[in-house]
Structure 1
Amino acid sequence: MTPRGPVIRAAGCVLWRRSPAGGGLEVAVIHRRKHGDWSLPKGKLEPGEKAREAAVREVLEETGMTCALGPELPTARYEVDGRPKEVRYWSAEATGGAFTRNREVDELLWLPPAAARSRLTYEKDKSLLGRFLATHPLA
């Protein structure tokens, strides 16, 4: 099947923080009201925007958190309405901020890795979380 348009370019993060309870980390999962799903923060690149910039911007817009990007994670490739989509991901440590409901995201949960994996809707997000955990020293 021939794609119905140019590649949709997007970027996002596996956003994490040190657990306030100590010992380990927590991962941010977001609920997108429009799609009724639980996913990782991500979004489309704006014209002229670099993927790293978009990843940081999308985290801030969707979660209210500032972050420090870490290593790049595997890129997700899939189709949306017959168009190819490519999402570049990074590991990102939350450095500050606070969540406020917005037009895209109505809930954010900080969960231990196993609970985050169970909550995520899509296998591609679960797989990405697994790749993140396989290389993260606190996991």
Structure 2
Amino acid sequence: MTSTNDTTLQAAGCVLWRRSPMDGELEICLVHRPKYDDWSHPKGKLKRGEDALAGAHREVLEETGYTATAGAVLPTVRYLANGRPKQVRYWAAEAGEGGFTPNDEVDRILWLPPTAARNRLTQPRDRTLVDALLTSLHLA
């Protein structure tokens, strides 16, 4: 019998946030992936033996160009991807230094207020992470 770890795709990501340089209000970073034409939080599959938090930091940097300081653990999201179970562990993460450069995987990012971010996200399962972020920052 196969254990779930052998068959479940393991991934990690962050709900990346910052204070707006314009007005100091909270903004959430969303990434646009042209392959799927969707808007989501930065995330990706873990490399073999990679720690989930290390993978989340790597994916944020690869997809957004920003470093991140992880905060609260957010809910783990589970769903089927191409018929295979996938588990994505998430953290709240404050954006640090960096800047976005378009690439093959992510061609655009947006920094949006929480309500606009929730509305722009393609998958409903990603919207609950916005609420979890606000709760973790004591803004909900």
- TM bracket, shorter-chain basis: over 0.9
What is the aligned-residue identity percentage? 57
Distance 1:138 1:26 in 2: 12
- Matches of residues 82-101 of structure 1 in structure 2 within 5 Å? 82-101=83-102
User: In the alignment, residue 21 of structure 1 is paired with which amino acid?
Assistant: M
Aligned to 1:103: 104
Match of 1:137? Answer: 138
Q: For residues 26 and 108 of structure 2, what CA distance do their matches in structure 1 show?
A: 19
Q: CA deviation at 1:131?
A: 1.4
1:37 equivalent in structure 2: 38
What secondary structure, in the 3-state scheme, does the structure 2 residue paired with 1:105 have?
coil
TM-superposed deviation, 1:138 = 5.3
1:58 aligned partner, one-letter code: E
Aligned residues: 136
**TM-score calculated relative to the size of structure 2:** 0.92
Residue by residue over 1:75-107, the C-alpha shift from the partner in whole angstroms, topping out at 9 and shown as x without a partner, is 001111221100000000001100000110000
Question: 2: CA distance between counterparts of 1:67 and 1:79?
Answer: 28
Amino acid at match of 1:81: N
Unaligned runs of 5+ in 1: none
Alpha-carbon distance in 2 for matches of 1:20, 1:72: 26
Matches within 5 A, 1:113-128: 113-128=114-129
Structure 1 runs of 4+ with >6 Å offset: none
Q: Deviations over 1:36-60 (max 9, x none)?
A: 0000000000011000000000000
Change in Cα spacing, 1:137 to 1:23, as seen in structure 2 (3 Å) is farther
Per-residue deviation, 1:112: 0.6
RMSD of aligned C-alpha atoms?
Answer: 1.4
Kept after mapping to 1: 8 A contact 2:43/2:60: yes
CA contact (8 A) 1:43 1:58 kept: yes
* Gapped regions of structure 2 (runs ≥ 5): none
Secondary structure in 2 aligned to 1:12?
A: strand
Shift in Å, 1:21: 2.0
CA deviation vs aligned residue, 1:19-46 (integer Å, no higher than 9, x gap):
1123421000110000000000000000
Question: Is it true that 1:49 corresponds to 2:50 in the alignment?
Answer: yes
